[in-house]
Structure 1
């Protein structure tokens, strides 16, 4: 029997407990070259993973939700990338008044990577929590002056969520559904605003048994800051399938190439996503391959954009070869304490490019 090298490595990942389950999608242009599901979506119920399984996309929320939402407001002339966020969020005072929207998107705001805001939020009325986050960020000292260093930060994207909602006059999930996902006819990218929306109609990949909530998380956001803020935020909270992630990425590419008759975005507003940032680490909301030991492996070009998520999800898209790889796993299920996926990701990306004979020039 002929051995499929990609399939063989994914099966090895299951045996080595890199992840309990996964969905892998490989695309060339708009065509799906490979789409397969592996292992278990839930170890306790023995529910199998399928290509339609919905994943907690964790930090993929940043490029797949927050960056497009900001881009839409820029396109409309409602905000400007190089204006201070404080123009729309006057609560930002002192050392934060100069932070621009571009710096927030490129992780150059000077804000720290993470703070345990949920420790404060859990003691507040649920109706007050979302707004309280803005005050918590405003009182958090900067690590570096704005624009002087790159430091990956959840807090910057939490700020962007509140800025978008204030300017748009509606919730982030409604803005995305009405202005971006809806017009693009993407049904399987969505948020759950707790506790009003039921997740019972979707087949979710289970994530962690959460010691804070004392239950297995299935269909509720894994990130505690996002969960205690209501389930919707700029750094986490988006759920979706591998196909939905792939379709959004391909649609953004097509619009950037002016191949869509009725585009949601202008080419000009998408340029900063597909071009390098000020230090080549990030474009607007998207990651870039590291010069050494990139999770994208050896074959993705320096023009590629991608992102990783804590729950075990990732995508990489290379405009040079027109290859997109979406790898969604539930590696934190049932506990987060190992991360063998760090070593596995570059291996599977290399195996994909080798199997399909794809290399950047």
Structure 2
């Protein structure tokens, strides 16, 4: 990892309203990665140890991972759901007891793209029904030991602070309220990982399901105005993308509400991973996070 990237990260973190950051650069061709982690009080950890709430990265790490490995369990309906073009609303508060019935009550029909937690959950229910298997069994074939569901965090795991719920600091629990209340392995949120664990998992996913090759093939027939490709987000405006200048329209990945992201250029086989606890004090002012994402992404693509 170039010292310049670490220096930039330390400088950018000074202007944030959160205190933890991990950055990884993946070389898929050589199956290796470099990373660093900055914990509270700007301490650069010799060995990254923080378990970050991956938030909506979970969508790509579950449903999309199943699509890559087991395309036979997807039909026209579940592919629409996977790519957020199924007409379901973006989200809302779900009942712990009847959330499945609520999600299954919506009609599925081709619609303009609307990014949706509900669509992700319905996709999960559809592929579980068709396969006869639970999502965790379907998607965890590539998980590193340091990529886990929030209810299975190791006993001594340490997580940054992500805000307040019921007057208690959120740390070691998922930030998403629906995921917290449902308290099951679901597709829209709930995975936690160290920077090491996520980088190793993405390398495993590429090895076991030819992720980068499959995405390159998918882009051959993809219309750029469609935002999602096999459930992965992709760069639509290279000049103004959160992936950072230098990303291309074939760069794919996902964003997470807690300030997480990963982006992969399948043509160069380079990946950029950024993990933060951006919701620590407040979530609604994200200009600092945007600046950090763009600056670090651009620096990685230049490496």
Report the equivalent of 1:187. 145
Map 1:280-299 → 2, pairs under 5 A? 280-291=226-237, 292-299=239-246
Residue 16 of structure 1 pairs with residue 10 of structure 2: no
Pair 1:166–1:157, CA change in 2 (3 A): same
Mapped contact 1:273–1:286 kept (Cα < 8 A): no
Pair 1:272–1:321, CA change in 2 (3 A): closer
Q: Secondary structure at the match of 1:300?
A: coil
Report the equivalent of 1:302. 249
Shift of 1:344: 2.0
Report the equivalent of 1:260. none
Report the equivalent of 1:326. 273
Q: Number of aligned pairs?
A: 296
Pair 1:192–1:256, CA change in 2 (3 A): closer
Report the equivalent of 2:119. 156
Report the equivalent of 2:86. 109
- Residue deviations 1:195-216 (CA, integer Å, cap 9, x gap): xx56533222221112xx3311
Map 1:26-45 → 2, pairs under 5 A? 26-29=25-28, 30=30, 32=32, 34-40=34-40
Report the equivalent of 1:97. none
Map 1:13-92 → 2, pairs under 5 A? 13-17=12-16, 19-29=18-28, 30=30, 32=32, 34-40=34-40, 51-74=48-71, 77=72, 79-82=73-76
- Partners of 2:102 and 2:130 in 1: CA distance: 20
- Residue deviations 1:293-334 (CA, integer Å, cap 9, x gap): 111122112111111000111001101122111100111113
- Partners of 1:348 and 1:164 in 2: CA distance: 36
Q: Which runs of 5+ in 1 are unaligned?
A: 83-99, 258-264, 357-361
- Residue deviations 1:131-166 (CA, integer Å, cap 9, x gap): x112222445x7xx8323111111111112223333
Map 1:185-224 → 2, pairs under 5 A? 186-193=144-151, 197=152, 199-210=154-165, 213-224=166-177
Q: Secondary structure at the match of 2:179?
A: helix
Report the equivalent of 1:96. none
Mapped contact 2:163–2:280 kept (Cα < 8 A): yes
Q: State which of 178, 181, 198 in structure 2 corresponds to 1:245.
A: 198
Mapped contact 2:242–2:293 kept (Cα < 8 A): yes
Q: CA RMSD in A?
A: 2.9
Pair 1:219–1:316, CA change in 2 (3 A): same
Map 1:338-349 → 2, pairs under 5 A? 338-339=285-286, 340-349=288-297
Q: Which runs of 5+ in 2 are unaligned?
A: none
Q: Secondary structure at the match of 2:180?
A: helix
- Partners of 1:333 and 1:273 in 2: CA distance: 37
Residue 311 of structure 1 pairs with residue 258 of structure 2: yes
Report the equivalent of 1:137. 103
- Partners of 1:192 and 1:168 in 2: CA distance: 25
- Residue deviations 1:68-119 (CA, integer Å, cap 9, x gap): 1344443xx4x2332xxxxxxxxxxxxxxxxx111111111111112122xx
